[in-house]
Each structure stands twice: as structure tokens, then as C-alpha cells.
Structure 1
Amino acid sequence: MLQLFFLSLSLVAGPAIYASETSIEAKKRLLQNLKKLSLKDLGQVQFYNPEATSAARKTQKLLDTPAALFVISQEDIRRAGITNIAEALRLAPGVQVAHINANTWAISARGLNGLASSKLLVMIDGRTVYTPISARVSWQLQDLLIEDIERIEIIRGPGASLWGANALNGIINIITKAPQQTQDDLVTTYLGTGEEQAILGVRHGGKMKNGHYRVYGKVYKHDNFVVRLDQQNNWLMKRGGFRADINLTGRDNLTVQGDIYDGFNKQNLFFSGNEPPITNSHSFVSGLNLLTRWKRKLTNGDFILQSYYDWVESDQTMLYKEQVGTYDLDFQHRWQTNDRQEFLWGLGFRYVHDDFEKHSTSFVSFAPKKREYKTFSGFVQAEFILQPAVWKFILGSKFEHNDYVGFEYQPSTRLLWTPHDKQSFWAAVSRAVRTPSRYDEDSEVRVQMGDFGMNALGNRDFQSEVLIAYELGYRLTPSHNFFLDLSLFYNDYEKLRTIEPIGFQPPSTLLTTYGNQMTGEVYGLEMAAQWQVSNDWRLMATYTYTDVQLHLLPTSQSVIGEVEEGDTPHHQATLRSVLDLPQNMEFDTALYYVDNVPNQHTPNYTRFDVRLGWQAQKDFNFSLGARNLFDSQHPEFGIGLEGNVQIPDEVRRAFYMQMNYRF
């Protein structure tokens, strides 16, 4: 443990300790220290100072990152008994995860959550899964073989200066393992009740000339929730995929990966007023994606060229059938001029085409039925080491031109101060935008409430929502077994979406359209702490406070008002315990608290999860677990006044058994 202590200090202090040495000598000395550590000690080093790529488009340590970054590791996912990506996000501070029904989540960072949360950019290995159609993420479609996830990087706050529009409140990037890390064959099985009913996953990893590959297949079946009507909301997804990493030359690497999936889910559609709900509405979905990434190492940096195509086809039997294709091309070049200066720049192009076919009973339609839109972008960022191991300054901006509103700029400036080898401070000011979606501009939604009706029409003059974010952060490592991360933020929003009346259609239908007639402020505190109590016992805690204040402009006549203030809980907290027992046993617990959500008529709730694991053999492990152990059922999100049309259900107590076999 003494070796771990000195290595942790070296990772935090870095150049301060080796200021008199050359960069090469410092790296050699650090490498020698790493070689002396056990595998368990190495795991603790990574636990306190994990690597991530999303905050800076390059690999760097958490303690060198002037952003509100949190990393969920594969070990965190396994020990928490997590079986899908959406639920894994509960482990992070500042992220609100609300399970609406068996196949639907409302997820956002730093407030303003909703069924169609529009301000969170989500990627899988750099491929965007945020849809420009409805400005949301369809979480039931975002799945992988959970054992193939290396880590989930979560940035609370804007990342638009590097990643572009729609990265307002945060960025989530799911990073999968390199194929050379998954060379074994794997069979994983899961049986449960209350949430997932069954999961079966298989994976094969192998070598090829100058590289490695893996292929996988998975079937995922989710149980019904506690429902408020005589209905079903279960869902089933089948998927498969591959990834291959090839060493083309000593400095060129090529990655090719893809996925294909097919499935269905059931849901209820709720209509305001006297219209009866539609129960057991089916939604059939299928899709595929293919991504290639070429990376070349240069003398003083590297460049990456990435391209992907994503296709989704969905048939919502009571609404519409949609087909959406996205082609994306992205280039970035990192150039380090000397030990104190580094420049990063890049270019991008995105082309989206869609086709909507309205069903006869649908109350939602799009005009035109087909549309194409393009986005051209570029970014530049400069990083300056003002004083080695003490001051770092970052300045950059993203520039975009899209077919919705034209030109957008999204600058950011960040400062990192490390006055001592055990603590650091950072500050940031950023501008980000949420560009209009197809839904904002081209949709028509018709709601009938008895003799009275309301039609909400898209608005081709709808503007981008704008955020100016102010952030402060502090990180402390007073000893080798404790880590504390604090973040304060103040978000100032302009041009938020409202629903404005525009006229009256005889005999009794109110016409409305989307406007930008609201401003707002969201501020809060986020905390994450990790404590290695002993060699075999680790505690992790998070706490989040968020307050949302919205204000209609004097020119607004919004038919809804500022009700979205009540879509965010003021307080959230988690406490996790990870304990290694004799005989290769593991005992893990997790306690989650979420405050009430007034606008969704959802009371506060406490959830307790427990897991008992056993590494029976080197290649075989077995676990039993329970979720929501102390509560038979509870709601997490309700029917808000801003227009949710899905009937919420209640999360059930769940029990499960899981087995993994590697050979």
C-alpha cells in the first residue's frame, strides 16, 4: 500500500514532482513504479484517477480535466448488478434517471428532464444516438452486451465547443472494450422477475492478421411494470454486432464495428380530456449501424478520421411509421507544438434523411412527409500550460451551419489550477445551443378534449435554445484511500421552448405553435466521494442539489406556463458499498434517494439494491440480487402538463440470478 500511496501522489502531482527531469525521464520513472504494483493496487489507482477521452477529445486523467467528469467503470456496472445502459447512469451525480414504464426512461443532467429530454448528447464509441427528429434519446434502443462496456464517461455541463449542438446539459459517451481485451468466449445468462425476465448473451473473440476481432449476440426480454390499466408494457430486443481493430502499420490503426437489432415494445397512449387511452399499443423497431475509425500517430500528435451510417425504422402502430438515416463524417487533428502548447482542430459533416408515414388513427403527423438536412461544422481548441503542474488554460469554439437556423457558434474557456499535489480547482464558462428538431418545425399534434380541441403546429421560425453556463470545481485527494469531487454550476437559458396560441379554428379548436418565449436559471451542487475503508471494502457516495427557475417573457401567452420547473427533484443521493468476502465471495449494496417531482405528481422514493456474487472458478461467476428490496413498487415519473402522452407505471421490486462463463 505504501507503493500505491507514492504512485497516487505522482499521478496527481505529475510534472511538479519531476520538474527537474525531462519528460522522458519522468515517464520512465512512473513506468517503473507501475511495474512494482500488484493488480489490485493498479485497480485502485485507476479507481481514483480514471482515464477518459470525451472531455478533451484525447485521453487524459480525471485530475487533469477542468470539467465535471464522472467515469462509471465496468467494475462499477458489474458490482452494482446493472443490466442496461440507462440504469447505469443512476450511479453518477447530477444525472436524473426516471423509469417511466418498462421500456421508457426520462433522463437528463442538471435539470429540465422530461419524456423527450432534449439537452443531453449521448454517444456510443463516438457515434451519436441523439435523434434530430424529436430531440431525444430512445433509451430502449441503446443496448450492448453489458460485459463489453469498458466505461461510461459522463460530463455534466456543456461540451458543445468540441462536440457541437445539443450538448447543453451534458454528454454521455459509452466506450466499449478493444477486441484484444475480449479474446475469450463468453456466455452470459440472466433470469429475473419484476424487471428483466431473461437475458442471453454470447461473444466470441479471436485474432486475425495484424489485429483482433469479436462478435456478439444478445436477446433481452423485459417484464411488465405495475400498470394502472389492464395492459402490458413488456418489450423484447434481439441484437448482434462485431468490432475489429487492425494495426495497418506501426502508426496506423483501423477500427470497424457495427450492430444490427430488431424488436418490439408495448405501451399505453394517454390523451387529455375525455378521449379514452389506447392500451397495448405496439411499436416495432429495427436498425443497424456501421462505423469506421482510422487513427494515425504523428511525431507531435495524431489525427483521427471517423465515419458512420445509422439507420432506424420504427412502426408505432397507433401513431406513425418512421425511417431515419444518418451519415456522419468527422476529422480531428491534435498537434503539440511544445511541452506547454497543444492545438486541436477538426471538421465535420452530417446528413440526415427521414420519411414519416402517418397511420389512419394517428393524432401526430409531419409535413412534409420526407425531409433532408445537412450540418457542416468545424472546431478549434488551444491548450496552454501557463505554469507546469500548476496552471492550465483552454480556449476553443465549435462553429456550425445547419439547415434549421443557419450559423451557430459555441465557445468555451476553461482554467485548471493545481496549487498542491493533493488538490485542484477548475472553472469554466461556455455557450451551447439546442438546435430545432423535425418535431419543432414540421409536426402537427391534435388533441380532442370532449367538445374542445387543440392543435399544436410546428414553427419553421423556431430558434435554437441557448445556454450560457458558469462552472466551478474542486478535487481533493488528502490520502491514498480517499477522493472528493465537488462541482458548482449556474446555467442561464434563453429562448426556451413554449407553446403559444396563434388562433381559433371553428367550431371549437384552439391553434397553437412552438415559440421561444421563456428564459430560465438552473443552479446546483454535485458531489462524489470515494473511500477505500480497507483492502476489501470500498464506499462510494454522491449527492446532487438542483434548483430550476423559469420565466415567461412578457410577450408570451403560453398555454402551459413554467410547469417544467417541477420536473426536476431538488435532492438526489446514492450510497454504495462494495465488499470482498472470503472464498471469492462479494457482497454489494446500493441505496438511492430521489426527492419528489411536483409537476409529475411523483413522491420521493428510496431504493435499496443488494447483490451477492461468487467467483466459483476462474472462468465462472454467479450472482443473486434484488432491486428495490424495501418497497414493492413506486412511481418515478408521472404525467406532466407539458404534453407527455404515455401513461406512467410503477417500478416493481425485482429479483434476479446471473451467470457468466468464459472459456
Structure 2
Amino acid sequence: MAALSRSLLAFLLVLLLVPATSAQDAATDEQGSSEEAAEPAPEDVIEDVIIVTAGRTEQSAHEVPAAFTVITSEQLETAPADDYGDLLRNVPGLSVSQVSARDIQISSRQATSTLATDQLVMLDGRTIYLDFFGFVMWDFLPVNTREVKQIEVVRGPGSAVWGANAMTGVVNVITKSPREMQGTGLVFGGGEIGTAYASVTHAGAGPKLGYKVSAGYYEQDPYDRPTGIIPGTEAVNPPFGTPYPDFPNSGTEQPKLDLRFDYDSSPSTVWSFSGGFAGTDGIMHTGIGPFDIDSGSFLGYFKTAWTKGSMQASFFANFLDGDAANLLTVGADGRPLLLAFESQTYNLEFSDTKVFKEQHILTYGARVRNNQFDLSIAPAGDDRDEFGVFIQDEILFGDHVRWLIGARFDDIDPVDSVVSPRTSLLISPTPRHTFRVSFNQAYRAPSLINNFLDITIINAAFVDPRLIAAAVAPGIPCEFVLSTCTPFGFFFPSAAIGNPGLDEESLDAFEIGWVGTFANGKATVDLALYKNELTDSIDFFTAQTYDSFSPPPGWPVFLRGTPFPVVPPGVFPSFLSYRNIGEIDNQGVEFSLNLRPRPEWHIFLNYTFQDDPDVRGIARSEVNTPPENRFNLGASYNGPHFFINGNLNFVDDAFWTDVLDARFHGPTDSFTQVNLALGWRFADDRYTITLNGSNIFDEDVQQHVFGDLISRKISADLRINF
């Protein structure tokens, strides 16, 4: 907490600069007439935000049946962040872990992991969730932040309208139409840790046709790797503990391209055609160790959408192609384990909203999806079909009470049918205050790897015969018990096989919430209390282990029949697989306060308390423990010629069990980081110079026990608009 206090003090000192700079900024503006200056300023009214992700229909803040956060385009423009991890860490309820220069994992209302599988992420309703491994690669978003209209974060289950994998939350990145971003924009920047980036965006629109083209590139060198012994592993891997593995770390290079054409065939009807790709390389951490993704790996897409009023129909295709090599795990041939991943997703979707008798707002829709796979480590998995329909009725009881009830039916390979119901009761005693009680059921489908993994890997262990001798004959020197007492490294094979019979992970979610707005919308308070009950968790476990009477191939003859080293079971696994097991309950509280005293000012504060999971039917030591406390504080001023935006993030300590086996499980310390962005606009706002710093005080930040050390990164850029 001392580190938090120091960082908080420094952050507040930085914010003291804001009033002075804003006053100076205002002084440079053109002065109005004395008559205008004498008139009192009108009361500012902050426009109510509209979101579509929570209910698949347009809703205001007091109509949304779930906890949510919206990040606007103005906030994106000035945010002290150059990746989605630093940006979304400021959202209450989200657990964010950056593990490498490119690897960012995000979960809602539970611990995240190296491959976070529970959160659905979309771009304009098009999924970028990768079903082959069941996770999200955030660098596969093909657009630049200048193109984003808003990011909608639903902090709670979304399977009732979005289907599989929207289990704990949904993030929907919504882009601007070409008509909303006309003109040309250029960005050139670079900074510490070998950071360099550039982008170009051009959009135009006529009476009926609009178009947009954008391209971008980002690169960064790797962060430092941790060294020494993984904390807390001395008891698991005696006598010294497990050293951090030494492997060549990598940075990342990320090109992207996106095209879009809109045709307004009538005032209420729009056809939209878009396509593009995003590429990446660098480190991807998994449960079987880090993979180095080859340059040239990409996710491409094509999408066409038709909108007429509230009625929407769309078709999209995603094309994934990549290769990666494991940096720690070798196959049975003694070479690094290779992962070649290729998939195609074809998706057809329809939805609409109708109002009946001025009391029922009915939203309904359907989806058909086909996934085709070609994975080197899961050769038996080739395709997966999905079909889903949903319906929800928002019933209005006068002006003060709304009751939403709905459900979705999905038929999805290989788990067959799943029903995801939800209901929410919203009571608004006044238009500016809404109380909410809700219940949701949601699910995650097993990934293709969960079902069809088929590899043999070579594991390594440190063997100390002296420990064996002490177990066989306590008090007798090793030399009198065994012929060799010199410690040695030992390599042995382990088979890792998927489980086609897995059930879906299922979540029951209970929530009580309140949203209140004050002072004509200048202040918003959001409070949510939740409990999530997860059953049939998909667990990667050691199904069989070697022992002294059935030892691994190559086990020294002189040790046959003697006890194995005094270590917990599972350190010498012979067979690994997946299973459904146990129940995990997560509960917590989320509080946020947002202030807009003037349109150019934004101040926020939020706090998340997340209790340690209540675990049944599975060893507590096998479940990640999330940070108990997370706290964010920020303030920004965005004036005519100058902006400053700063925020502070505090994340409590956590414990991680999702990489390899117990020898690699361990904690991370709490950390506090301060981020700051400054910008100056000139020449009629055609040019902007920005300075962006993350972790500006260079605090020790490790966000996963196996992750990189995330150090300070300061960059600068020039933005040109014409």
C-alpha cells in the first residue's frame, strides 16, 4: 500500500497542472464580445449514451438490463494507452493481464488466465473470438482507434442474446460510418522499447455512397523476462524451487488494413460492405508454455450488412491462418512443438425489434454458423456447426417499471442443445435513477483443442537421489543406499489428449444494481453486486502419473522400485487431458463515479472488490485467484487547443495456476501504475502533437506469474487531419 500512496500522491500532483494548463488554453481562445461575456453560461447537459450490445437493440443508460461501461471516441482520442489492455483496465469488474508485448487477456468478474476463454469480443457484431483455442487475440482488430465510435463493455453474461462464449461478459467495438469520419488522417509515432507506429485513414461520403480505407502498422521490442526462482515453488519443486525458464523473448509487428463502403438506398435503409485483415507475430502464452507466432499470421474477414430501421441482416466470413513454435515444449521427435492453425468461419445472422401495443418491446433473431479447422495439434477436429435463435420481451408497466424476460436456444457441436434464459426487473422511481435485479444463465462451449488435442510432449524434471534415499532410509547417508547420489535432469514423455465428451461450462449469474445520474447528467453513479456460480469448469489435468514401478522410459535402473522424489503428485505426468469438474463461485462489488462538470472535463473513479473464489469438487490450488481489490482514478481536460489525460491503476496481488503444472504456479505482487497523455492542437486543429506515457514512474509490474515485466513506455506522435 505504500507504493499505492506514493503513486497516488504523484498522480494528484500531476493533476494539479490541469487547471493551470486549461486556464492558459482558454486564454488563447478568441474572446467573444463584451455582451456575450456578460451573459451567464447556460447549464451544460451531458447527452445520454446509447448502447446496443446488452439487449441487441438501442437502449439508454437507464434502460440497459446489465452493468455496462462505454468508452467514447473522445476518450479514445486522448487516452494514455496504446493497447486495449491499458485502455480496458480502467473499466470496473474487468481483470486484465498483459503477458507479453502483444498478449493481452481480459475476463469479467473472475480471474483471467493466459488464454481467457470466457469473454466474447466483437467488432461491429462480428466475433473475433477464436474457437480453435477459445480465446481472443486483441491484435486481430483491423481498425485504428480513430475509426472507433465507442467501445461497449457489458459486465455480465450475454449468452441470452449472443450465444456461446459470452459467458462472463461482452466487449463490442463499434466503428464510425464513413459519413461520421470524413477526411484524411495520418499518424506517425514512436518511443521507448523500440515502439514505432503509423496509420492512415481516409473517408468520404456523397448523397448515398460513403467509403473508408484505413491502414496501420505497430511494432515493439519485447519487455524483459523475469529471472530467478518462481515465487513459492520451493515446496513444490524442492530443494531450490522452479527457475523461470530461459527462452528467446520476442516483440511484435502488427500490420492492418480495412475497407468499408456504405450505400444508403433510402433514408432508413443502408447496405454496408467491409473487409480487411490484421496480422501479428510475437509471444502467445498457453497452458503448455509460450508459443512464438510466426510473422505473416493473420485474421482476414469480409462482411456485408443490411439495415432497415431496427431490422438487421448480415453475413461475414473470418479467415485465420498462422504458425507458431513452442519455446519450452518439445514433441516426441525432440523438436519444438509446432502449432499450425487455420480456420474459416461463415456466419449468417438476422435480428429485429418490434413494439406491440405500446407495452411490449420484442427483440428476436437467429444465427447460422459454420467453422472449419485445420490444426496440427488437433488433427481429428475439422468442423463445427452452430444454430441459434433468441427472443426477449421488454414489458413496460407505466413509466417506472420494466420487466425484461428472454431466452436463447443454441444447437452447437459437440455439446448439442443449450438454453440460456435471462430476466431483469428495472424500477425507475425517477427518470434519473434505476434499480435493477437480474438473473442470467450463460455458457462456454469447449474449444476444438479441448475436444481433439492429440500430442506427445517431452517434459523435464530435476531429480535429486538424496531425497529418494532420505525417504527410503531416513538418517542413512545416500551413498549407502543408492549407487549414485548426484542430482540430474531427466526428460520423459507425456501424452496430452482432448476429450470429445466434454459438456459446456455453465454459469448462473445473479446481480443487483443501481444507476443514478445527477446535475443534468453531469454525474453518474453505478453500483453493482453480483454472484456468479460456475459449474462443469473445463479443467486441463494430470490424468495419470508415472511411479517407481511403472516409471517413464529411460528411468535409471538403480532407481527402479524406489519411491519417486518427494514432490506432490503430477510432477511426473504420463497422461494429460481435459475434464468437467467442480463448482466455482465468484462474487463481488463494483462501484463507479463519472463526473462531467463541463463538457471539456471528465473525472472518474471506480473500485472493484472480488472475493476469493469458493471452490468445490476441485482442488483449490488448481484455480486462479483474482486480485481482491482493483482501484482506478482518472481525470482529463480536452480543450480547444490542449488536452491532458491521466489515470492511476491499482491491482492487488493474485495467484496463477494456469501454466504447465504445479512447478510453475505462483503469485504476483500488487502493483500501481500511473499513465499520462498530453496533446497540443494547432493550425486550425489540422495538427496534433501528443506525448503518451504508460507506467510513467516505472513501477515493478508483472501481471501474470509467467508474464513479462511491463516497464515504462513513453512515446510521441504527430497527427495530421485534412
Paired with 1:261 and 1:214, the residues of 2 have a C-alpha distance of: 16
Question: Would you say 1:629 and 2:627 are equivalent positions?
Answer: no
Question: Is 2:298–2:320's contact at 8 Å kept on the other side of the alignment?
Answer: yes
Question: Is 1:94–1:156's contact at 8 Å kept on the other side of the alignment?
Answer: yes
Instruction: Give the letter for the 1:575 counterpart.
Output: L
Q: 2:459 aligns with which of 448, 458, 473?
A: 448
Question: Would you say 1:416 and 2:426 are equivalent positions?
Answer: yes
Distance 1:59 1:224, change over 3 A: same
Distance 1:598 1:286, change over 3 A: closer
- How far apart are 1:249 and its partner, in Å? 2.3
Hey, what does 1:569 align to over in structure 2? Answer: 627
Paired with 1:271 and 1:462, the residues of 2 have a C-alpha distance of: 20
Deviations 1:169-224, CA, capped at 9 Å, x for gaps: 10000000111011111111221113x71111011112356121110111111222
1:415-564 matches, cutoff 5 A = 415-445=425-455, 446-449=457-460, 450-480=490-520, 481-503=522-544, 507-508=551-552, 510-533=574-597, 536-553=600-617, 561-563=619-621
Question: Is 1:473–1:486's contact at 8 Å kept on the other side of the alignment?
Answer: yes
Larger RCO: Structure 1 or Structure 2 (Cα < 8 Å, ≥ 6 residues apart)?
Answer: 2
Question: Is 1:103–1:233's contact at 8 Å kept on the other side of the alignment?
Answer: no
Distance 1:177 1:271, change over 3 A: closer
Structure index of larger Rg? 2
Paired with 2:99 and 2:425, the residues of 1 have a C-alpha distance of: 39
Hey, what does 1:45 align to over in structure 2? Answer: 46
- How far apart are 1:487 and its partner, in Å? 0.7
Instruction: Give the letter for the 2:705 counterpart.
Output: G
Question: Would you say 1:304 and 2:312 are equivalent positions?
Answer: yes
Instruction: Give the letter for the 2:359 counterpart.
Output: R
Paired with 1:106 and 1:267, the residues of 2 have a C-alpha distance of: 10
Deviations 1:630-650, CA, capped at 9 Å, x for gaps: 1254211113xxxxxxxx211
Question: Would you say 1:616 and 2:682 are equivalent positions?
Answer: yes
Instruction: Give the letter for the 1:343 counterpart.
Output: L
Residue 46 of structure 2: SS of its match in structure 1?
Answer: helix
Instruction: Give the letter for the 1:579 counterpart.
Output: Y
Hey, what does 1:199 align to over in structure 2? Answer: 197
Comparing 234-243 with 526-535, which one deviates more in the overlay? 526-535
Hey, what does 2:21 align to over in structure 1? Answer: none
State the superposition RMSD in angstroms: 2.3
Distance 1:416 1:602, change over 3 A: same
Question: Would you say 1:381 and 2:400 are equivalent positions?
Answer: no
Distance 1:109 1:292, change over 3 A: same
Comparing 60-69 with 572-581, which one deviates more in the overlay? 572-581
- How far apart are 1:579 and its partner, in Å? 2.4
Hey, what does 1:75 align to over in structure 2? Answer: 74
Question: Is 2:672–2:699's contact at 8 Å kept on the other side of the alignment?
Answer: no
Question: Is 1:100–1:649's contact at 8 Å kept on the other side of the alignment?
Answer: yes
Residue 140 of structure 1: SS of its match in structure 2?
Answer: helix
Deviations 1:298-354, CA, capped at 9 Å, x for gaps: xxxx32111100001011134221111000010112111132112111111000001
Paired with 2:613 and 2:152, the residues of 1 have a C-alpha distance of: 28
Deviations 1:136-192, CA, capped at 9 Å, x for gaps: 111232342111111000001111111111111100000001110111111112211
Question: Would you say 1:586 and 2:653 are equivalent positions?
Answer: no
Hey, what does 2:351 align to over in structure 1? Answer: 332
Comparing 501-510 with 247-256, which one deviates more in the overlay? 501-510
Distance 1:291 1:303, change over 3 A: same
Question: Is 2:140–2:279's contact at 8 Å kept on the other side of the alignment?
Answer: no
Distance 1:44 1:437, change over 3 A: farther
Comparing 456-465 with 531-540, which one deviates more in the overlay? 531-540
Hey, what does 1:317 align to over in structure 2? Answer: 325
- How far apart are 1:513 and its partner, in Å? 2.1
Paired with 2:202 and 2:45, the residues of 1 have a C-alpha distance of: 29
Question: Is 2:673–2:699's contact at 8 Å kept on the other side of the alignment?
Answer: no
Residue 63 of structure 1: SS of its match in structure 2?
Answer: coil
- How far apart are 1:267 and its partner, in Å? 6.4
Paired with 1:591 and 1:136, the residues of 2 have a C-alpha distance of: 28
Deviations 1:445-499, CA, capped at 9 Å, x for gaps: 5351334543332111111111110011101223233210111100111111224
Hey, what does 2:299 align to over in structure 1? Answer: 287
- How far apart are 1:292 and its partner, in Å? 0.8
Comparing 542-551 with 149-158, which one deviates more in the overlay? 542-551
Question: Is 1:422–1:476's contact at 8 Å kept on the other side of the alignment?
Answer: yes
Paired with 1:269 and 1:347, the residues of 2 have a C-alpha distance of: 33
Question: Would you say 1:262 and 2:279 are equivalent positions?
Answer: yes
Hey, what does 2:713 align to over in structure 1? Answer: 654
TM-score, normalising length: structure 1: 0.84
Unaligned runs of 5+ in 2: 1-40, 227-245, 327-337, 461-489, 553-572, 657-665
Residue 510 of structure 1: SS of its match in structure 2?
Answer: strand
Distance 1:303 1:609, change over 3 A: same
Question: Is 2:46–2:596's contact at 8 Å kept on the other side of the alignment?
Answer: no
Residue 75 of structure 1: SS of its match in structure 2?
Answer: helix
Question: Would you say 1:225 and 2:223 are equivalent positions?
Answer: yes
Residue 502 of structure 2: SS of its match in structure 1?
Answer: coil
Distance 1:661 1:352, change over 3 A: same
Structure number having the greater strand percentage: 1
Hey, what does 1:403 align to over in structure 2? Answer: 413
Hey, what does 2:121 align to over in structure 1? Answer: 122
Paired with 2:389 and 2:43, the residues of 1 have a C-alpha distance of: 38
Paired with 1:499 and 1:231, the residues of 2 have a C-alpha distance of: 26
TM-score, normalising length: structure 2: 0.78
Paired with 2:698 and 2:526, the residues of 1 have a C-alpha distance of: 31
Paired with 1:656 and 1:514, the residues of 2 have a C-alpha distance of: 43
Unaligned runs of 5+ in 1: 1-39, 358-364, 640-647
Q: 2:364 aligns with which of 337, 345, 359?
A: 345
Hey, what does 1:140 align to over in structure 2? Answer: 139
Question: Is 1:84–1:143's contact at 8 Å kept on the other side of the alignment?
Answer: no
Instruction: Give the letter for the 2:496 counterpart.
Output: A
Distance 1:281 1:493, change over 3 A: closer
Instruction: Give the letter for the 2:698 counterpart.
Output: D
Question: Is 1:266–1:283's contact at 8 Å kept on the other side of the alignment?
Answer: no
Distance 1:538 1:296, change over 3 A: closer
Distance 1:91 1:620, change over 3 A: same
Question: Is 1:111–1:548's contact at 8 Å kept on the other side of the alignment?
Answer: no
Paired with 1:477 and 1:91, the residues of 2 have a C-alpha distance of: 20
Residue 147 of structure 1: SS of its match in structure 2?
Answer: helix
Question: Is 1:499–1:512's contact at 8 Å kept on the other side of the alignment?
Answer: yes
Deviations 1:85-139, CA, capped at 9 Å, x for gaps: 3432112111111111111112111013101111101100000111111111112
- How far apart are 1:367 and its partner, in Å? 3.4
- How far apart are 1:586 and its partner, in Å? 1.9
Question: Is 1:158–1:171's contact at 8 Å kept on the other side of the alignment?
Answer: yes
Paired with 1:288 and 1:413, the residues of 2 have a C-alpha distance of: 37
Distance 1:270 1:487, change over 3 A: closer
Paired with 1:41 and 1:152, the residues of 2 have a C-alpha distance of: 30
Hey, what does 2:167 align to over in structure 1? Answer: 168
Comparing 528-537 with 327-336, which one deviates more in the overlay? 528-537
Residue 439 of structure 1: SS of its match in structure 2?
Answer: helix
Hey, what does 2:669 align to over in structure 1? Answer: 603
Question: Would you say 1:104 and 2:126 are equivalent positions?
Answer: no
- How far apart are 1:244 and its partner, in Å? 1.6
Equivalenced residues, count = 588
Hey, what does 1:643 align to over in structure 2? Answer: none
